[in-house]
Amino acid sequence: MRYIGNKEKILNEIEDVIIDNKLDKKCKTFFDAFSGTSTVGEFFKDKFEIIANDNLYMSYVISQAKLNTPDGKYKNLGINPFEYFNSTNEKVKGFIYKNYSPGESERKYFSEENAEKIDFIRLKIEEWKQKQLITDEEYYFLIASLLESVSKVANIAGVYGAYLKKWDPRAVKPMKYIPIQTTKELAKTKNIVYNKKIEDLIENVEGDILYLDPPYTKNQYSVQYHLLETIAKYDNPEIKGKTGARDTSMQTSDFSKDGKVHIEFERLIAKAKFKYIIVSYSTDGIMSKEFIESVLKRYGKEETYQFKKFTYKKYLNTKSKKEGEHFEYIFFIEKKDENKINYYSPLNYMGGKAEMIDFLKKNMPKKINRFVDLFAGGFNVGVNMDVDELIYNDYNFKVKEVIKMFRDIDTYDLYKYIINTIRKYRLKKEDKEAYIKARKDYNHPEPPIRDPKLLYVLVLYGFQQQIRFNSLLEYNNPIGQSGFNDKILEKIISFSRKLKEKNITFLSRDFEQLKKYITKDTFFYCDPPYLITLGSYNDGKRGFNGWSEEDEIRLLNFLDKIDKIKGKFMLSNVIKHKDKENKILKKWLKEHKNYRKIEYKGKANGRKEIVIINYNKENLND
């Protein structure tokens, strides 16, 4: 059967990945999540227990036939169905004849003779099943064989999205009913086959190897193979249009939609309960290599990541690009443990603690009920906390609005907004004129509401992606050398999904106004503006208060109040920077011998930061 994306030609490449990583020696189960015609699952069914899934019922039928092939004896039926159907002249003018042949329609998918035979065979298979003359395995195998036979005489160019105006010579030949091709011996165990959208299934299935071969293009398989779906189900659906297509809206795949495929792929990898992941994709695919790699490296052990690229003859249709070479990709990675996965803010906020996440997590208490990120900024720390309740607080309400936006707005809607805004203003790196126009619209909108979505787009193209305002709270950062790319998109998607899964309260208050949260069960993480360094958020010239010695003292007193009731806190800061020294912090530490100081040397800037905690080492995570 001709099937778009069939992986028959790269089976050896996939096998090489499995053998090179010794998965054939240490794995038991193999999940083919987009099984199609089950080419991959069948190839490996002598090595693994196969789990297969596809959104199309026709694919479900074919997978059942190939993975749970009957013995071919048809004991209850008492005849060989292939010999019977090829010798009988019985025919039925059924649904296929009436709608997909010139018999009672203008459509030329099948000749009248072949359409009548298709109807007869399909109805007879259903009759045998209802009379319990055939088993489930035999039922699926006979339907799959009909789909294979039909494909030999269909008057189409390759898929069933349309029929040919003139008869192909093979389409007018009498149809032979042939067994669907199987290349391996009968499976030793019964394999599992699902007929679901993978996004609805992924959290309910687990195993060793997850193999992903998602659709590459915007062509919907449910549309391209609508007629085979109808023959497989034989449910007499309502059809419409010149092609007689059935309603496939419930089978539409988000993996064939720009933006949605990125969101679903990230979630799929995040939720997968499999130790190893293999992905097939294409240079013609909607997702880029960079995006796929970013997702896999977030959830996988980076040292296990592998990538292969090789030439491959592609399927062409009227929408395909015919010029240039076509390459196929194979990715491999071993998944991380859940507690090793970190998320990073797509807002490149100055002073963010992305680099320190593992260090901070290692030095936090084992159990935290409520986590208060007191100076949350880009929220790199808070988003990585596995707690019952999260409090986000930042005095800069503009920053809070952007972070809250990632939680509140549907991620696909945000993606479309970013893409449309870039197109609207024709934003490009270092294109000052386009950037100024967008910045002006943000600062003087009608109605007078400054949209955090537009602010975020401006930040992406602004100088060092800073958030800077003047005293009137007008955004005034100049154009920069950055822009929107697939690595940022991956951060947006993973960060937004994680925020949506958490119980978060967003606040924008002076830290002392959060004293009501001081309890024994609350953990405070404090990453205040550093007194002896200067950023655009603490110089007091951007429409927001700066950070003074008085603020430093207020904060340290606030932490003492937490300690007084035996609450827990963690403070990130610096004591020395260049020729400056934070004497207030240094004195405070001398006065509080029970507070522990841990040093961290930054990998990027080499700056020595300190983390101060007020709890015992035995309360820490392993």
Summarize pLDDT for 390-414 with one digit per residue, the tens: 999 999 999 999 999 999 999 999 9
Vertex 295: Cα angle to 421 and 607 (nearest 5): 90
**The pLDDT of residue 536:** 54
Residues 104 and 233 in one domain: yes
Which one, of 302, 325, 323, lies nearest residue 313 by Cα?
Answer: 325
Residues 190-223 pLDDT 10s? 999 999 999 999 999 999 999 999 988 777 888 8
- 């039928």: which residue's tokens? 61
Q: What is the DSSP string of 514-545?
A: GGGG-STTEEEEE-PPPTTS--TTSSS-SSS-
Enclosing domain of residue 469: 354-619
Report if residue 347 sits inside a domain.
no
Residue-level pLDDT at 319: 44
Cis before 81? omega within 30: no
Instruction: Calculate Rg over the CA atoms of the chain.
Output: 31
pLDDT at position 316: 47
pLDDT tens column, 134-166: 999 999 999 999 999 999 999 998 888 899 999
Higher pLDDT, 220 or 237: 237
Locate tokens 């090489």: which residue?
Answer: 16
Residues 330 and 381 in one domain: no
Helix (H) or strand (E) holding 1: none
Q: Determine the pLDDT at residue 66.
A: 95
User: Does residue 308 share a domain with residue 230?
Assistant: no
- Domain closes at, from 315, 341, 367: 341
Q: What is the pLDDT at residue 4?
A: 63
Asked if 237 and 274 sit in the same domain, the reply is no
What pairs with residue 576 in β-bridges?
A: 581
Place of tokens 């023959």: 231
Number of domains in the chain: 3
In a domain, 536, yes or no: yes
By percentage, how much of the chain surpasses pLDDT 90? 78
Residue 184's pLDDT band (boundaries 50, 70, 90)?
low
What is the Cα–Cα distance from 333 to 306, expressed in whole angstroms?
6
pLDDT computed for residue 512 by the predictor: 96
User: Residue 6: pLDDT above 90?
Assistant: no
Same domain, residue pair 174 and 319: no
Q: Does residue 543 or residue 361 have the better pLDDT?
A: 361
For residues 416 and 270, membership in a common domain is answered with no
Q: Which two tokens stand for residue 365?
A: 């208490």
CA nearest neighbour of 567 among 576, 558, 575? 558
Mean pLDDT across 614-620: 70
Q: Are residues 268 and 417 in the same domain?
A: no
Q: List, for residues 513-547, the tens digit of each pLDDT value.
A: 999 999 999 999 999 999 987 665 545 555 567 89
Residue 101 within a domain: yes
Within this chain, do residues 243 and 271 fall inside the same structural domain, yes or no?
no
325 and 426 belong to one structural domain? no
Is residue 346 assigned to a domain? no
Residues 6+ apart with CB under 8 A from 498: 343, 383
Nearest to 571 by CA among 547, 545, 549, 600: 600
Q: Is the pLDDT of residue 322 over 90?
A: no
For residue 237, is pLDDT > 90?
yes
Q: What pLDDT was estimated at residue 318?
A: 44
In a domain, 15, yes or no: yes
Report the greatest alpha carbon distance in the chain. 100
The full DSSP string for 130-191 is: HTT-S-HHHHHHHHHHHHHHHHTT--SSSSTTS--SS--GGGGSPPP--PPP--SPPPSSPP
> What is the rounded CA–CA span in Å between residue 59 and residue 215?
14
> Which amino acid is present at 570?
M
Same domain for 142 and 195, yes or no, is no
Residue 349 lies in a domain: no
Tokens of 447: 């109605």
**What is the β-pairing status of strands 576-577 and 580-581?**
antiparallel
**Whether residues 391 and 526 fall in one domain:** yes
Name the domain boundary from 341, 362, 391: 341
- Mean pLDDT, the chain, whole residue set: 91
| d(C-alpha 330, C-alpha 321), whole Å | 21
Q: Are residues 359 and 478 in the same domain?
A: yes
End-to-end C-alpha distance for the chain, whole angstroms: 55
- Among 341, 369, 389, the domain-final residue is 341
- pLDDT, greater one: 36 or 318: 36
How many helices (H) and strands (E) are present in the chain, helices listed first?
A: 21, 18
CATH of the domain at 611: 3.40.50.150
Burial tier of 492 (Cβ tally within 10 Å: 0-12, 13-18, 19+): buried
Mean pLDDT of 343-353: 87
pLDDT above 70 covers what percent of the chain?
Answer: 93
pLDDT tens-place string over residues 75-124: 999 999 999 999 999 999 999 999 999 999 999 999 999 999 999 999 99
Query: Within a domain: residue 270?
Result: yes
